[in-house]
Chain A
Amino acid sequence: MNYTELAYGSLDDFLYGKCPKPVKCKNGMIIGGGEIYPEVNFTLPPMKATQETLHEAKSIYKEMIDGVLKKAYELHASGLVVEFETLPQYTENPEWGIEIHKILREAMWNFEAKNGLKSVIRMTPNDMREMSRPPIMRGGKYWDAMVKIFSQTAKDGADLLAIESTGGKEVNDEALMNADLRTCIFALGCLAPRDMKWLWTNLVKIADENGSIPAGDSACGFANTAMVLAEQGFIPKVFASVIRAMSVARALVAVECGARGPGKDCAYENVYLKAITGTPASLEGKTAACAHFSPIGNISAAVADLWSNESVQHVKLLSGFAPVVSTEQLIYDCRLMNIAANKGHAKTMRDWLVESDCYLDPQAYILRPDVAFEISGEVVKTQSPFLRTVNVARITLDILQRAADKKELTLPEREIKWIDNMKEQLDEIPEDEQQFIDEMKAEVDGGKYLPFEYGI
C-alpha cells in the first residue's frame, strides 16, 4: 500500500475516538469506531525478574489484572485495552513472558464471560536485537526469542501485536546527545525504514497466521528519548520536535507492510500516521505522568482512539494499587471525551485539548491537527522514506520558525539558534540517498552498527 494523499478530506473530521479505518477485534470491540477507550499498562514493583521470582511475578500480574478489570467494570467502562509490555528478561526467556500473557489473557476472557466487560490484550515484546553490540537484526538468539514469544502469545489469543523496534537506534543514540541532525537522518531515514520493512513483514506474517492484529510500532527509543532529553534541558526542544516529526517516515513503513493499528501508545508520531493512513491511534499524555513527564499532556489526546497510561508500577497508594488508580484516571478521561462527542462537541473538546498546550512548547505545537496535516501532506509527496525524513525535517523547521515569528510560540534565544543550526545541517545533505549512505558509511563509527544487517 502506497500513501499519496491524506486519509482525511477535512480537518473537522480529524477527531478522537474515530478514524476512517477502525479495527475490529475478535470479541467485536471496535477501536476507532466512535468511542475512545482506555489502554492500561502495568509493570512489576522493584524486584528481580528471574526464574526464582517468576512465581511471585505471576501472582503480582494476576493481582494487577484482577484489580484493573474490577475497577473498569465498577466504573462502567464499555471496553478496555490491556497492554502487556514485557520486561527484557521475559522476552529473552520467552516461556516466562508466554506464561504471564496466558494469566492475563485468561483472566480477561473469564471476566468478559462473567461480567460482559469487553477487553483486548496488546502484546508488546521487547526488541532484544540491540542486546548484541553491534546489533544483529535479522537472526540470532534474540531474534529467535522474539519470534517465539510473538508467535506463541498470538496463538494463545493476543489480540494486538506491537513493538518498540530499535533498528538504527544504535547510531541514533549518540547523535541525539550531540544534536547531530545529519546522523539522526541516517538512522531514522535510511537504517530504520529498512529494518521496519524487514521486521514488519515478519510480524504481519506471524499475526496473520495466528489470527492476531498487527497493530503498530513506536519510535520510543528515538523520539521519546529526545523528548526526555529535552525535558531535562539537555538538548533543544526544537531538535526533539524535529526528531518526532521525522519519525513518521519510519512509522509509515509498518502500515505499508500491513500493520493496521491501533498504533502504540507512546508513539506520538501516531498523530501523523492517523492523518495519512486513517488507522486508529493509541496515545498518552497527562495520565501517563506516572511513567514520564511531557509537555503534551492534553494535546496528545486530541485525536487519540485509545488513551493510555504508558506504564505504572504495582505500588500501593493511599487509595489502592497504582495500576487500579491509573485505570480509574483513564476511564474518567475517556468518559468526558466520549460524552462531549456524544453531545456533538468532539471538535470543541479536541480544540480545547489542543489550545491548552500548543503555544507553550514546540513539541506540542507540531501536534496541532492543522500542523499535523501540513507535515503529513509533505510526507505523502514522495515514496522514499529517506526523502520523507529530510523533507519533514525541513518543513518542521519552517513551521517552528513561522510560529516563532508570529509570536505563537515563545522560544528562548538558545532554542532559536538551533533552528538555524539544523537548517545548515540539512543543507549539507544530498538529495540522492545512495550518495548520502556512502557518505555516512564513511562517517559513522563502523563498530556501532552492521551495514549488511540493513541491506546497505
Chain B
Amino acid sequence: MTDLSLLYEAILKGKSKSAVEITNLALADGAEPKMLIDEYMIKAMGEVGRRFENQEIFVPELLMAGRAMKASLNILQPIMKSSGEKTSIGKIVIGTVKGDLHDIGKNLVASMLEGCGFEVIDIGIDMDSDKFVESVREHNADVLGLSALLTTTMPYMKTVIDAFADAGLRDKVKIIVGGAPVSAGFAAEIGADGYSDTANSAVTTVKELLGIK
C-alpha cells in the first residue's frame, strides 16, 4: 500500500511531480479521491498556510505547494466529476476594476484561494461592471472579488456592486473588496460583504462568508 503521508509531504514541500506520482499510486491501490483530498491534501495546505502566517516561509513556497495540490487535483477532479461529487469548496470570480491595470495583489489572492481548494475564475484587469455581472452569472459563482489600487478607481467598486443589485443578483453572491487604498470602512460604505488587507486574510474572509471551517 502507498504511504499516503508522502502525499501530505509532497504538497507541503511543493513537489508537484511527487504529488502526481503518489496520487496515481494511491488511486491504483483503490483510495477514494475525496479521502485523499480531505485527509491529506487540504491538511497539507492548512499547514502551509500556518507556516506562512508564522513567517516561516514566503509566498513562493506557498505557491509551489498550491501547484502541487493543483497537479493532484487535476487527476482527482475528473474522477469525482464523473461520479457526481463536488470538486471544489466554492467558486470565485475575481478581477481588477475598470481603469485599473494593477493585478499582482489580485493574482496573489487568486493563487491562494486556488491552493485552498476554491475554483477561481480570474477575469483580468480593467473590467467593467457588465463583465463582472456576466461572469458571475455564467459561472454561478459564490463570491466575487474586486481589486483596485488607485484612489480614482476604487469608487468604481460601488458601481459594480450597484450593477449586481440592478441585475437582481446581489443576494446571490458575496462580494469582497481589496487593494492598497481600500479600507474596511470604505467596504462597508459601498455595501461590500467583506474586506481584507492581505492575500492570506482574503482566504479567511471568503471561508467565513461561505461558512467554511
Contacts and interface: CB of A to CB of B under 8 A. Distances in A.
Contact of B58 (A131, A173, A180, A414): A414
A55 B84 CA distance: 57
Nearest to B125: A133
Nearest to A311: B151
Interface residues of A, number: 30
Contacts, number: 71
Contacts of B150: 87-88
B101 A177 contact: no
Contacts of A174: 107
B162 interface: no
Contacts of A131: 101, 126
Nearest to A315: B151
A441 interface: no
Contacts of A232: 198
Interface string B90-130: 00000000011101100110010000000000001110000
B108 to A, nearest CB: 6
Given A131-B126, A173-B103, A177-B108, A234 B59 contact: yes
Range class of the B interface residue count: 20 to 34
A3 to B, nearest CB: 32
Interface stretch (A39-47, A149-157, A369-377): A39-47
B60 interface: yes
Interface string B142-166: 0000000011101110000000000
Given A49-B99, A131-B101, A225-B104, A179 B58 contact: yes
Contacts of A48: 152, 155-156
Contacts of A225: 104
B55 to A, nearest CB: 6
Given A88-B100, A89-B99, A43 B55 contact: no
B181 to A, nearest CB: 7
B57 interface: yes
Interface in A227-243: 229, 232-236
B58 A234 contact: yes
Contact of A88 (B60, B101, B111, B151): B101
A179 B186 CA distance: 33
Contact of A47 (B107, B111, B151): B151
Interface of B: 55-60, 63-64, 99-101, 103-104, 107-108, 111, 124-126, 150-152, 154-156, 181, 186, 198-199
23 contacts: A43-B151, A44-B151, A48-B156, A49-B99, A87-B150, A173-B103, A176-B104, A177-B63, A177-B108, A178-B60, A178-B64, A179-B58, A179-B59, A179-B60, A229-B59, A233-B55, A233-B58, A235-B59, A236-B58, A313-B151, A414-B57, A414-B58, A418-B58
Nearest 8 interchain pairs by C-beta: A179-B60, A49-B152, A234-B59, A46-B151, A178-B60, A48-B155, A87-B152, A235-B58
